[in-house]
Amino acid sequence: MRVVIDGNGPDVIFIPGGDSTAESYAQQFELLSGQFRCISYDPRGSGETTAPPAPWTMVDYARDCAAVIDAFCGGNAVVCGLSLGGLVTQQVAIDFPDKVRLAIPMGTAAYIDGFTRDWMQAEIDLRRQGIALPDFFLAPHYAPFAFPAKALHDPELWAQIKPAYTARFADRDPQDLIDQWQACLDFDCREALTTCPVPMHVVSFSEDVQTAPAMCKVVADLAPHGVFHEIAGLGHVSMTRHKPEAVAAKLREILDANPEV
């Protein structure tokens, strides 16, 4: 596993979302590493981490995170993740509650259904049929799932997003995408959440197309120690390029309000 560490202070593990590497948290590291020891890694199916052949389950992803906690955090840490990383965050809290002082899943769900399920299944089926999206279509296709309309229509921001999202998906191994996204579709922690003892602060974004606030609220409502947060005006991946400071401020607020962690 490729692991990246920066800063000093209480240990916070940041789990990337699907198709993403540790670099997805670069701006959060810049904003938070002065107060916290920020740790991230390439999850199986992305970057330089290698893994046994798929299929993978969220339990496998949780074990990976637990191994990072043991190796770099002395056996316990705050765990925070976005999207796929949010699902992993919940699973780590469920399977390894002694290792998680506080869980902060962002843009998450206890179970993926409705529009999001149909969209993800369509992406998987497309690749199983051997169809590849052309490079010129990648940014216009994926960016609307990541950023709110106001962000997409900001010319300066779009000039950053377009090349970044083209590069991100142009070299994406189709099988890795299938395997990561299938693990998300197979995930259902609704029953297990009801007995999870870990404090869980669930962060949602009001303009999130992938995991709408209502999906995130289910997680907070099911967890015995769940707290729901909604940040106005942000999309699924607004923590990068769009409004990283707003996400960092919310994370700092949560962490400062829970000094025991």
CA dihedral 65, 70, 76, 82 (to 10 degrees): -20
Q: For 3-111+188-256, CATH number?
A: 3.40.50.1820
pLDDT above 90 covers a percentage of the chain that reads: 98
Is residue 150 within 8 Å of 233, Cβ to Cβ?
yes
Taking only the tens place, the pLDDT of each residue in 59-115 is 999 999 999 999 999 999 999 999 999 999 999 999 999 999 999 999 999 999 999
pTM: 0.97
Domain range annotation of the chain:
3-111+188-256
Q: How far is CA 90 from CA 67, 134, 207, in A?
A: 16, 35, 22
Taking only the tens place, the pLDDT of each residue in 198-241 is 999 999 999 999 999 999 999 999 999 999 999 999 999 999 99
